[in-house]
Amino acid sequence: MPITTFDDKVAAITGAGSGMGRALAEAVASRNCHVAISDIDTAALAETQELIKSNYSVEVSSHELDVADRGQVEQFATDVVHEHGKVNMIFNNAGVSVTDTAENMSYEDFEWLMNINFWGVIYGCKSFLPFFHDVDEAHIINTSSIFGVVAVPSQSAYNASKFAVRGYTYAMRQELFDTHIGVSCVQPGGVKTNIIKSSRYTTADNTVATKEELISRFDEFAGLTSEQAAEQILRGVLANKAQILVGRDAKTAAIVERIAPTGYQKLLSRLISSMLNDKSP
């Protein structure tokens, strides 16, 4: 059956060096769940590992990982089972963003984002699924976004990746309905993470907001801390929810999209345009 308790389970988490990934690692560890944390940023990953070792009595393994590399992800899954004896969950959490217009965005930036946000999720699912058949309780948790429900200007690549993750996750959930493997799609709204800080940001001219101004505005907009988001995600996993909407803004946006599937676009376009184009005094 899908996960009913985190006690004595093993959770693999990508993007665990900071933000929601680190918060998820600490949250499951606090529930006596062993963790295999991974990130491409080894310094940040070491900080997460030390936090868990210092505060929780669980096994923790650390793995340098580029989720865009299929071979590395496959090895990650094998290493987790080798070091922990089993694996019950994969949190495909790692993600990046690119801010640019659809017309101006380079193929290089688009491919960089899709390789992490979309293919990283595919690699994670396909690499861990075979091992989930060997345990009684298992769960796949893929991080999409509320931007996988509503589209916004300047985020065409991010929208494309998150819409794709949502569709892939729902199809896989249906395929696994009659098994013991649960599948959930996480769709956060504004959560205080480093995703904007580590994003690729292109501006057409000096009349639009700088990256630093955009980071500041995003932090003001974000309604949840990473820790609050992690708690909501874990509740959704235990309830075996197909869709885990994280934050009031995510729930509101999902309702608006159902009521006005295309009607929301003009209003959202103006809102995003205001964030990008209004220079700070």
Which positions are annotated as active-site residues? 158
Angle at 119 between CA 243 and CA 103, to 5 degrees: 95
Pick from 134, 192, 190, 143: which is nearest to 164 by CA? 143
Angle at 44 between CA 30 and CA 26, to 5 degrees: 5
Q: How far apart are CA 275 and CA 157, in angstroms?
A: 18
Residue 255, phi then psi, degrees to nearest 5? -65, -45
Encoded tokens for 106? 């380079």
Q: How far apart are CA 277 and CA 62, in angstroms?
A: 41
What type of residue sits at position 29? A
Q: Is 110 helix (H, G, I), strand (E, B) or coil?
A: helix
Pick from 17, 268, 1: which is nearest to 146 by CA? 268
